[in-house]
């Protein structure tokens, strides 16, 4: 069986005394067999700012674990930046959705410096997290990686 959480966000993840993350609040979760990669939903169930784009549509139909991958990507962007992924008080509409700003910086070849005093090693780690996060928040769910692939990308050494 697999769990589709449908509400991955910072408030639902705690760290234990060894800094091992623990996912909480399974109130929106669905349990389904591993061989069923898609479940049916009739209404959006996630938190704004972490909800996958497909869940905004009226007739949602089938969704998969890739919905949780999207939410995890949004969480990674917040971790890398130290700020919320939505800014309702932004002066310009382009600043409201923070991942757009990150993507624009990244695609233009700018360094993504989220921390002012980051060491070179910390900057590399932040860049890796941002790359993985952008991969996770692809608009098309089939373009998003599996969680196994995400873990591998975050754990292994690769050139950014």
Q: Residue 142's Cα: distance from chain center in Å?
A: 15
CA separation, residue 66 to residues 5, 108, 143 (Å): 11, 27, 9
Which residues have C-beta within 8 Å of that of residue 52, sequence separation ≥ 6?
Answer: 46, 63, 66, 67, 70, 71, 141
Of 136, 129, 138, 133, nearest in space to 160 by CA: 129
Is 16 an annotated catalytic residue? no
Catalytic residue among 7, 16, 68, 104: 7
* H or E element in which residue 135 lies: helix 120-136
Residue 14 backbone dihedrals phi, psi, to 5 degrees: -115, 160
Catalytic residues: 7
């Amino acid at each position: 069986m697999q769990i589709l959480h449908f509400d991955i966000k910072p408030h639902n993840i705690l760290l234990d005394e060894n800094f091992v993350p623990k996912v909480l609040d399974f109130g929106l979760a669905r349990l389904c067999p591993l061989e069923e990669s898609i479940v049916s939903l009739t209404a959006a169930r996630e938190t704004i700012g972490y909800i996958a784009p497909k869940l905004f549509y009226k007739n949602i139909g089938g969704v998969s674990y890739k919905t949780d991958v999207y939410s995890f990507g949004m969480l990674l962007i917040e971790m890398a930046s130290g700020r919320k992924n939505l800014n309702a008080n932004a002066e310009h509409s382009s600043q409201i959705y923070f991942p757009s700003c990150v993507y624009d910086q990244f695609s233009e070849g700018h360094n993504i410096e989220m921390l002012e005093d980051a060491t070179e090693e910390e900057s590399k780690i932040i860049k890796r997290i941002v790359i993985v996060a952008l991969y996770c928040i692809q608009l098309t769910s089939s373009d998003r990686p599996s969680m196994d692939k995400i873990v591998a990308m975050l754990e292994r050494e690769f050139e950014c």
